[in-house]
């Protein structure tokens, strides 16, 4: 069984896309969604799919002892889906090459501290880029610098706004993130 832990801070549209993708699979289990935001829409998504939620505060997350909680679920993968806190070193080391993230731009550009959501799309448009896209990467000790697993591009249209670009990029995220996750699972 491939246990996948999901970490999310926002609305949960990527979590919904992932749960939909795997809903008929007997070899994949989502034992928990971890969030740091008590108002996150992902909590409602979790309820719809019958997945438990762990609401986490920063102090506990920073404590190395928290890895014991993660270890209980024996995750094959830890998937970040709009999780906005930096992952502590103990988790990066404890789950090296087993933790992935999706970024709404073509890394290495437009990554790092503060580069999430609309901030990314605003920066891409302000730089007059011709294209943007998504990057799925392994999580390491630095923001958005882990090994790239997949990149997909979209053209930026004349008159593109951060909102219209965000819609295009989100469609790519919903299409490709689950496929990358699937490619990393074990078959038994």
The residues assigned a catalytic role are 103
Q: Which residues contact 186 (CB under 8 A, 6 or more apart)?
A: 2, 76
Burial of residue 73 (number of CB atoms within 10 Å: 0-12, 13-18, 19+): middle
Q: Which of 80, 139, 70, 81 is nearest to 107 (CA)?
A: 139
Integer Cα distance of 75 and 4 in angstroms = 5
- Beta pairing class for 2-7 and 28-35: parallel
Answer yes or no: are the C-beta atoms of 98 and 73 closer than 8 Å.
Answer: no
Angle among Cα 118, 122, 126 to the nearest 5 degrees reads 175
């Amino acid at each position: 069984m491939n246990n996948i832990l999901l970490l999310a801070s926002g609305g949960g549209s990527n979590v919904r896309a992932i749960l939909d993708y795997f809903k008929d699979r007997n070899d994949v289990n989502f034992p928990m969604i971890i969030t740091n935001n008590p108002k996150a829409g992902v909590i409602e998504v979790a309820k719809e799919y019958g997945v438990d939620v762990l609401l986490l505060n920063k102090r506990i997350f920073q404590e190395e002892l928290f890895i014991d909680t993660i270890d209980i679920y024996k995750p094959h993968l830890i998937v970040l889906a709009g999780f906005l806190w930096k992952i502590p070193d103990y988790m990066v080391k404890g789950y090296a090459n087993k933790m992935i993230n999706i970024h709404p731009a073509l890394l290495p550009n437009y990554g790092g501290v503060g580069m999430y959501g609309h901030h990314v799309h605003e920066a891409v448009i302000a730089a007059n880029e011709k294209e943007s896209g998504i990057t799925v990467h392994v999580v390491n000790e630095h923001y958005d610098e882990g090994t790239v697993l997949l990149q997909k591009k979209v053209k930026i249209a004349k008159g593109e706004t951060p909102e219209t670009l965000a819609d295009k990029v989100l469609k790519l995220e919903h299409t490709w993130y689950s496929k990358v996750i699937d490619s990393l699972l074990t078959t038994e």
